[in-house]
Amino acid sequence: MRKLNALSGSLAGAHISGTVGAYIFIIAVTCSYYVAIAPLLLGHTDLGWHLAAGDLIRSQGSVPAHDIWSFTAGDKRWYNLSWLWDILASLLFREGGFTALMLATIFLGGLIAGCLAAICLASKATPLSTCIAVIFACILYPTFAVPDVFLAASPNIATLFFCVIFYGACLSPRHLWLVPTSMVLWVNMHGGFVLGFFIVGVFVAVALLRRDATALRAYSLIMLACAAATLANPLGWHVYEGVLSTLGHFVQQYITEWQPYLTTMTAPQSIPTCAYMILFVVLELTNRAAIPAEPRLLSWCFLLLGFLQLRYLSIFFLFSTLPVALHLSDLRWPVVKHSVNESLLGAAGLSVLCLLPFLYWHAVPEKPGLPPIYPESELAYLERHFPHAHLLNHWNYGGFLIFRNRGAIPVFVDGRAATTYPDTLLRDYFDLITWDVDEAAWKRVLQKYDIDTVLWPKAHAQLASFLVGKEKWTQVFSGDVANIYVKEP
């Protein structure tokens, strides 16, 4: 009996050791990758206006109902669905600049990896299978579609994090209290909170199909609690109006992350992504591992949704880690079937963690800042020579102009899209972005909004031919990324 107890104790110790080693290895490897791509984490084009919004909310002590940085929004209500994230980002930026934002993003990425590892290990996946599945998913979901970085200093990271929290809590009934608690934060950080209802809804549907009255009652009550939790925000029930103003809106067809994956995939960037998706499909169709129905349904749903709209593929990578890990654990390959040396896993992870400072020193500039895709010198020229410009700016520059200029030179449009601007303004703007200049559309917009200055990418040479050659405007400045055109008096 003593020998049996000793054997049980040693096996439990080995399991704990293996678990700890897997956590260390997974977090170390994923965070190393995030440090290596750290400059990309500041590349979200909406980061500027989020920081400005956080400063504005903190200064006036409330969430503004109308825009103050443009001359085109009019009296349309501004639905700031990310006000809490904006405040937190603003505070981080005040205390530590872009470095603090970057480090916080890397920390959240490591936290997501740790949560996924916990979900897989709690479901009895082997440590090595967990390492393979989580690391592959956490490397792929942030940058599977450059220039869209889904692990970035933006409110999108909140949605990814809370998706994982909902996923793990619903798989473990004793942690269901985390779901409505998390919803209170999620609804104030990003409009993606509605995905929480879809996640819980899948668990409700499976319980209904199984005729599991206990689970059905528990998940139904959780969904009702989530609905109540969403009202804990400054907008009240109007938060749903803000979400509906973006879902299915015509603007989505012009924004990369809302476009179908097949129209945006490029080689060789798409090769690892496609390989992982093929691996998932093959394992799902050929292996007979005992995997809960809910993770499989969620993985397949977001895989199919990802082909319709690019942004959902990042969530597919996260949800698919559990099915992939369990499939790999079920294979008869010795390399994944047998336990690896747990101490070696942990030692390897610690070694990688020790190298992180050197990797950071090599990959990150001494003073990190916004990537060189914004018109820094161009804005400086405008501020010096045309401080009262009635400006038509490119969409991608709007958030940057708000961040640097705070409305001193009001913007024409920015990434807040339908949550701030009327549809007529947005339709007028998107008539302008064709590569071949639509002369009638440009003339109409320039006259309708009394535009006297245009800030537009240099790459659009056809616009220069139209404005300078035909409309007799003057190109007064050519910067690193954009040209400035001014209307002759």
The backbone torsions φ and ψ at residue 230, rounded to the nearest 5 degrees and listed phi first, read -65, -15
Residue that finishes a domain, picked among 363, 384, 408: 363
Rounded Cα gap, residues 190 and 193, in angstroms? 6
Residue 147: cis peptide before it, omega within 30 degrees of 0: yes
Q: Are residues 177 and 260 in the same domain?
A: yes
Q: Does residue 257 fall inside a structural domain?
A: yes
pLDDT value at residue 10: 33
DSSP string, 122-156: HTT--HHHHHHHHHHHHHHHHHTBTTB-SSSSSTH
DSSP state of 391: E
Rounded Cα gap, residues 390 and 393, in angstroms? 10
Rounded Cα gap, residues 196 and 226, in angstroms? 8
Rounded Cα gap, residues 251 and 112, in angstroms? 30
Full pLDDT tens readout for the chain, 489 residues? 333 333 333 333 334 445 788 899 999 999 999 999 998 999 899 999 999 999 999 999 999 999 999 999 999 999 999 999 999 999 999 999 999 999 999 999 999 999 999 999 999 998 889 999 999 999 999 988 766 788 899 999 999 999 999 999 999 988 999 999 999 999 999 999 999 999 999 999 999 999 999 999 999 999 999 999 999 999 999 999 999 988 888 998 888 888 888 887 777 778 899 999 999 999 999 988 789 999 999 999 999 999 998 899 999 999 999 999 999 988 866 655 555 666 778 888 899 999 999 999 999 988 899 999 999 999 999 999 999 999 999 999 999 999 999 999 999 999 999 999 999 999 999 999 999 999 999 999 999 999 999 999 999 999 999 999 999 999 999 999 999 999 987
Residue that finishes a domain, picked among 303, 333, 363: 363
Q: Which helix (H) or strand (E) holds 169?
A: helix 156-171
Q: Are residues 398 and 342 in the same domain?
A: no
Q: Which domain covers residue 326, as residue numbers?
A: 14-43+79-363
Q: Are residues 338 and 406 in the same domain?
A: no
Q: Are residues 352 and 385 in the same domain?
A: no
pLDDT value at residue 143: 83
Q: Are residues 18 and 128 in the same domain?
A: yes
Both tokens assigned to 299: 């993985």
Asked if 276 and 140 count as a contact pair (C-beta separation under 8 A), the reply is: yes
Number of domains the chain contains: 2
Residue 375: cis peptide before it, omega within 30 degrees of 0: no
Asked if 466 and 437 count as a contact pair (C-beta separation under 8 A), the reply is: yes
Residue that finishes a domain, picked among 331, 363, 395: 363
Q: Does residue 72 fall inside a structural domain?
A: no
Partnered with residue 392 across adjacent β-strands are: 454
pLDDT value at residue 19: 77
Q: Are residues 215 and 353 in the same domain?
A: yes
Rounded Cα gap, residues 131 and 153, in angstroms? 26
Both tokens assigned to 352: 């990688």
Q: Does residue 67 fall inside a structural domain?
A: no
Q: Does residue 51 fall inside a structural domain?
A: no
Asked if 295 and 322 count as a contact pair (C-beta separation under 8 A), the reply is: yes
Asked if 455 and 386 count as a contact pair (C-beta separation under 8 A), the reply is: no
Asked if 113 and 26 count as a contact pair (C-beta separation under 8 A), the reply is: yes
* Distance, C-alpha 454 to centroid of its chain: 30
pLDDT value at residue 462: 93
Asked if 206 and 293 count as a contact pair (C-beta separation under 8 A), the reply is: yes
Using alpha carbons, select from 195, 192, 199, 191 the residue that is nearest to residue 219: 199
Q: Are residues 231 and 282 in the same domain?
A: yes
Q: Are residues 425 and 278 in the same domain?
A: no
Q: Are residues 185 and 117 in the same domain?
A: yes
Q: Are residues 358 and 420 in the same domain?
A: no
Q: Which residue has the tokens 């480090």?
A: 103
Q: Does residue 66 fall inside a structural domain?
A: no
- pTM score of the predicted model: 0.91
Residue type, 352: V
Cα torsion 35, 38, 41, 43 to 10°: value is -170
Q: Does residue 9 fall inside a structural domain?
A: no
Residue type, 422: P
* Distance, C-alpha 198 to centroid of its chain: 18
Q: Does residue 62 fall inside a structural domain?
A: no
pLDDT value at residue 340: 61
Q: Does residue 124 fall inside a structural domain?
A: yes
Q: Are residues 273 and 414 in the same domain?
A: no
Using alpha carbons, select from 140, 152, 173 the residue that is nearest to residue 316: 140
Asked if 59 and 412 count as a contact pair (C-beta separation under 8 A), the reply is: no
The backbone torsions φ and ψ at residue 486, rounded to the nearest 5 degrees and listed phi first, read -125, 140
pLDDT value at residue 3: 36
Q: Are residues 426 and 357 in the same domain?
A: no
